[in-house]
């Protein structure tokens, strides 16, 4: 709809509050220091998200990238996306997750 009206998109929380960072897996692995450990927001379909994390992990392994880098690269490549609003607990995390630019166009 935004494209039809020539509007830019500025996604908020493209990593679903950290869930799509790769810290969480369907086997129960999670980061106890993360916000989601005590405050489960934004609400997401966890079954679907676990499936997405598994797919992004496979892509990341093939492209030498983290799950978060794959997720953010996908968001950046969507039509109309001009930027994204992300937040991390540590500045070095933000810089490393945003720096993924693989030379292979399949990645």
What separation in angstroms does the CA of 86 have from each of 1, 40, 58? 23, 17, 23
CA end-to-end span of the chain: 27
Supply the range of the domain harboring residue 53: 3-30+41-91
pLDDT given at position 30: 63
Compute and round to an integer the Cα radius of gyration of the chain: 14
Query: Whole-model pTM?
Result: 0.76
Report pLDDT digits (tens) over 21-69. Answer: 888 777 766 666 666 666 667 888 988 999 999 999 999 999 989 999 9
Any idea what DSSP says for residue 104? S
Is 48 inside any structural domain?
yes
Domain count of the fold of the chain: 1
Is 105 inside any structural domain?
no
Could you write out the DSSP letters of every residue in 29-51?
A: ---TTSGGGT---S---HHHHHH
Is 14 inside any structural domain?
yes
Is 35 inside any structural domain?
no
Is 100 inside any structural domain?
no
Share of the chain above pLDDT 90, in %: 22
pLDDT given at position 89: 62
Is 96 inside any structural domain?
no
Residue with the larger pLDDT of the pair 10 and 87: 10
Instruction: Measure the CA–CA gap between 50 and 32, rounded to whole angstroms.
Output: 18
Residue 94 in this model has a pLDDT that exceeds 60: no
Is 107 inside any structural domain?
no
Is 97 inside any structural domain?
no
């Amino acid at each position: 709809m935004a494209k039809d009206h020539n509007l830019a998109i500025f996604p908020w929380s493209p990593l679903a509050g950290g869930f799509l960072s790769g810290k969480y897996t369907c086997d129960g692995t999670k980061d106890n220091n993360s916000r989601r450990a005590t405050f489960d927001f934004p609400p997401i379909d966890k079954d679907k998200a676990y499936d997405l994390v598994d797919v992004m992990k496979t892509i990341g392994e093939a492209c030498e990238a983290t799950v978060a880098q794959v997720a953010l690269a996908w968001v950046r490549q969507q039509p109309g996306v001009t930027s994204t609003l992300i937040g991390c607990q540590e500045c070095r995390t933000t810089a490393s997750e945003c720096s993924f630019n693989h030379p292979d166009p399949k990645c």
